[in-house]
Amino acid sequence: MEKRRLGNSGLEVSALGLGCMGLSFGYGPATDTQDAIKLIRTAFERGVTFFDTAEAYGPFANEELLGEALAPFRDEVVIATKFGFDGGDSKAGLNSQPESIRAFVEASLKRLKTDRIDLLYQHRVDPNVPIEEVAGTVKDLIRSGKVKYFGLSEAGAQTIRRAHAVQPVAALQSEYSLWWREPETEIIPTLEELGIGFVPFSPLGKGFLTGKIDENTTFDSTDFRNIVPRFAQDARKANQGMVDLLTKIANEKNGSGVPATPAQIALAWLLAQKPWIVPIPGTTKLHRLEENLGGASIELSPDDLGAIEEAASQITVQGARYPEALLKRVGN
């Protein structure tokens, strides 16, 4: 798989990474450990060198899983993890106090079985701790060799600028896909100006853009999507037009001799937006992993992109992407 650089940082990763959250957290019961290790190692064999986790995924279980799975080839991969929730619990409050960040890094290094964190993100902006203080703490950790690069997640443009002035931000991780395009307004121009890479999570709309979810789909009782307004039954029905668009483009590719699926078109579209965008689709299934990685080899022509843009502009996506309580934690 071809590589991409995350902005001006010099951090080089595979054009698609692997978002590992769903193996342990958020989308129903955790995947069997050996099956999860096999999936992570298969991704590496297929050219993926960028793996995303967080202390809150479990909590802790996902970092431990990655530590075990990536140990045989640790020096050949880039591991990204995140701090920022009190005690690692995403249901608890935010906590980016300097002493908490330092304690997290020490514990995370043990869980990941490594001597450095390649890319350390603040998971969500903590309104109680000035971002300059957070960036300064990470700057010290970088000087000590325990961290290599600094990242932010779901931060707003002004926060990104303030943090970047203290310690250069290598990457922003936020949601971005054909059905969540708000970053195009202010975030992407800011990242381009400052030379910061963009790592879209949920590039397949939490599974919706694959075409495998419709208004009749039911989710496990522990699946996060049960509380997401965009996944309410009426919203799924209303949003089917976006999947229909991706299916149409995929069918046209198939007709011209290029095998493609809606998921692959959605990923190819993201990759075509900027050369410093690196999506991190997640999956628990080997065949979906293979399908997703195939998206990196699909070329969308200017005509393809124009057609997608024109058709997408006619579609109004229904439903908020987060419940109201969680929306308060993003874009600050």
Q: How many CA atoms lie within 13 A of 252 on its CB side?
A: 14
Rg (CA), the chain: 19
Could you give the CA distance from residue 328 to residue 332 in angstroms, rounded to a whole number? 8
Is the Cβ–Cβ distance between 118 and 197 less than 8 Å?
Answer: no
Positive/negative CA dihedral, 102, 103, 104, 105 = positive
The residue from 27, 57, 149, 176 that is catalytic is: 57
Is 57 labeled as catalytic in the residue annotation?
yes
51: which 2 tokens? Answer: 């793996």
Whether 81 contacts 280, CB under 8 Å? no
- Map 247-288 to HEC letters: HHHHHHHHHCCCCCCHHHHHHHHHHHHCCCECCCCCCCCHHH
Nearest to 283 by CA among 63, 70, 43: 43
Catalytic residue numbers, as ranges: 57
